[in-house]
Amino acid sequence: MINMEKQFTKIFKEVGIEDVAEVGGKNASLGEMIQDLIPKGVNVPDGFIVTATAYRYFLKKTGLDEFIKKTLTGLNTRNLADLASRARLVREKIKNAEFPEDLKKEIIKGYRELEKRYGKNADVAVRSSATAEDLPGASFAGEHETYLNIRGTDQLIEAVRADMASLFTDRAISYRVDKKFDHLKVALSVGIQKMVRSDLGCSGVMFTVDTESGFKDVVLINGAWGLGEMIVQGEVTPDEFLIFKPNLNNSKFRPIIDKKLGNKNRKMIYSDHTTLGIKTTKIINTTPKEKESWVLTDQEILKLAEWGKIIEEHYSKKNGKWTPMDTEWAKDGKTGQLFIVQARPETVQAQRDFSKIKEYNLQEKGKEITKGTSVGNKIASGKAHIIFDIKHLKDFKPGEILVSTMTDPNFEPVMKIASAIVTDKGGRTSHAAIVSRELGIPCIVGTENATKKIKTGQTITVDASGTEGTVYEGTLKFKIIEHDIKKLPKPKTKIMMNIATPDTAFEKSFLPNSGVGLAREEFIIASNIGIHPKALIDYKKLRKENPGGKLIGEINKRSAGYQDKIQFYVDKLSYGIAKIGAAFYPNPIIVRFSDFKTNEYRTLIGGDLYEPHEENPMIGWRGASRYYHPDFADAFVLELKAIRKVREEIGLNNVEVMIPFCRTVEEGKKVIEIMKKNGLDRKSGIKINVMCEIPANVILADKFLDIFDGMSIGSNDLTQLTVGIDRDGNDKIKKITNEKDESVKTLISEVIKKCKARGKYIGICGQAPSDYPDFAQFLVEQGIESISLNPDTVIKTTLAVVEQERKLK
């Protein structure tokens, strides 16, 4: 006699990942976690499963299997009208069919068991779990339906049947055809899971890998208020948190390396309204306080990240290979508890060949139209096609660039033929981002205004090659460079990189390197902060003087989420540094303290209040001379606090520092003393280097080396101060000479010898070796320890260095 209970329904703790064929990837994964990971502290809400056997039984008993086969025979999924018509026929037939009585009885019995634990009419989520879904190589990215806030047996039966019908939406049929899955060999299991009251709290998505670069050592968390569908659908731009995975197990550290506040202007909550007997949800606007508040505390961010690491380690061990995970989480607004509600293998970066590096480089700049968060690390040009309503999808032509408010699974047939995607809403884990990543096309999400700024038929270029994506007018030239790093020989001279933008650090870390010879603070301050540090220090005074003024409004807008404006500066600077430090860990990262000139500082919000006008800022109040000056010393202390946070709180002790434009040994001593007073001296283990970019640094090298751990040659400034040519000067004098001038090379040769004689570090981080491979060869000949290059010249210059080393041998 067949045991129908075991055949039609199962409780989660009865199943594991080996039961995918019967309960689907999603349900198998939940069962796996409930069995093995709850004992390790991971919270997972319980429930039961309607099996694939039950689904097939339903189709067989009602004759639906034959109807489906007949209806979908000969379908061309590129014919969108025919696809829509046939899919609708199948769905309606399934929704109108009654469950066999024995199957219905088992579903109700499973729900009654849940009621014993959670009370009468317990609220549940009803989610699909296809037997080919959520497997490495196949990411259905919301192909099938989820029903939330389901209560009572009538609603449950209706929701389970509707979920089964969702196996035959237009996009699900199209997806199966593309992935070569037989429609009737893919069965649908349904998970019935106790709802987490995230409608009163928050929810989101967590990846245990950087979704764009494939960098393994981070956990990426997105979060928004209310139910999680808003993030998955790309309806809101969520908060984003980044955590350095290797330091999660060390209780001394709090390794959050980035926090970005999303606009979170709407949220999804429960509704009393019903459709087809199924209780639905509704979307409401968030309050101003919700928009400007983080959805998670630092403690909660770290707890989720720890769970993500535990989940990844479990599945990697189970699969015998690295298995990054894509999970969904929810916070119950009543109890304050966090839960993992889904976990599936990430399917894009897990299959990437990291020995092959493809770089997309824009070769010219055009007129900027809009900006947003980039996805895909690629560039594409084409004609824009704006679509607001899915009824216009049939007008979309192959190769066009899809521009929309947001996308959902209904858009997928046209997303497959688009050359790029741009949306107003959404973050890096929205539907548009997930699908474009899998399709391998560039995408920019969260622009907020793309559909207003771009016109249908307009030729545009979508540059998603960095973390910030830009849409330009017209067709711009770009080049693609592919590297096979396995074939690249390793030189004895250390090849390091110059990194300005933290958002490119993960991607660049795959290039062969020995660390970062120059991490510039200026870009982080200009782009991630945008406000003069003194204006933040004086914020209370400035607000008192002019509470409703433009300056205070701009500061408040840039620093949303922070009551303490000084902490905003410290956090944002430390996050930028930490992303670079994490990307290249454990290799050394030499962070140069801020080296803005006065004219550059003046461009920051509030900068005109603090910066003097100088005739020649290049040799004016810059570098070390600012750090001990009464008008800037308190701002420099904020930089020191950021470095301490990176090293001591986040745990990135590979971060070193470097003082720029240090004119005299006395200046160097003053700066080192300020560092010591603020907890940064050699007792803390930090290395303190100095830029060698003034002839005095070479002439008095031994005295500078008495107080510093090493030198890094700044060939740009050293050249202008040696041959008397303004590096920002006009073309009339620029062509006279350059860094390869004999006088400059003589100074460089001399300082290399002095550093080597003292056993001190000597490298170069100036532009010259990036521009001139023969200059790099000269440096090798002189015995330099390291050469720090612009990332796009690493391969070319490495080969030149290897060739020179061979000659010297």
- The set of catalytic residues is 431, 765
**CA–CA separation, 331 vs 242, rounded Å?**
18
**3-state secondary structure string, 146-178?**
EEEEECHHHHHHHHHHHHHHHHHCHHHHHHHHH
Edge-to-edge strand list for the sheet holding 239-244: 256-260, 239-244, 218-225, 202-207, 325-331, 338-345
**CA–CA separation, 594 vs 591, rounded Å?**
9
Reference 439, options 481, 380, 390, 372; nearest CA is 380
Find all residues with CB under 8 Å of 407, minimum gap 6, and list them. Answer: 234, 415, 421, 423, 426, 430, 431, 432, 435
CA dist 339 to 126, 227, 241, 308, Å? Answer: 16, 13, 17, 11
- ω into 502 cis (within 30 of 0): no
**CA–CA separation, 474 vs 368, rounded Å?**
10
**CA–CA separation, 747 vs 762, rounded Å?**
13
Q: What share of the chain is helix, strand, coil (3-state, %, to 5)?
A: 45, 20, 35
301 in Cβ contact with 258 (< 8 Å)? no
**3-state secondary structure string, 586-600?**
CCCEEEECCCCCHHH
Q: Tokens 């317990």 belong to which residue?
A: 122
CA dist 441 to 237, 418, 783, Å? Answer: 20, 8, 44
**3-state secondary structure string, 673-688?**
HHHHHCCCCHHHCCCE
Calculate ∠ Cα 426-430-433, nearest 5°: 100
258 in Cβ contact with 583 (< 8 Å)? no
512 in Cβ contact with 587 (< 8 Å)? no
226 in Cβ contact with 268 (< 8 Å)? yes
Find all residues with CB under 8 Å of 768, minimum gap 6, and list them. Answer: 715, 716, 719, 738, 739, 740, 775
**CA–CA separation, 170 vs 166, rounded Å?**
9
CA dist 44 to 38, 162, 649, 799, Å? Answer: 7, 25, 30, 52
Reference 186, options 238, 130, 259; nearest CA is 130
**Backbone angles phi and psi of 619, in degrees to 5:** -120, 30
- Which of helix, strand or coil describes residue 395? helix
**CA–CA separation, 23 vs 254, rounded Å?**
38
**CA–CA separation, 574 vs 594, rounded Å?**
13
Find all residues with CB under 8 Å of 523, minimum gap 6, and list them. Answer: 500, 501, 502, 576
Q: How many of the other CB atoms lie within 10 Å of CB of 735? A: 8
Reference 56, options 252, 182, 189; nearest CA is 189
Q: Tokens 């979170």 belong to which residue?
A: 264
CA dist 483 to 3, 125, 506, 717, 795, Å? Answer: 58, 46, 16, 32, 8
> What is the enclosing helix (H) or strand (E) of 314?
helix 298-319
CA dist 313 to 245, 353, 594, 599, Å? Answer: 11, 21, 39, 50
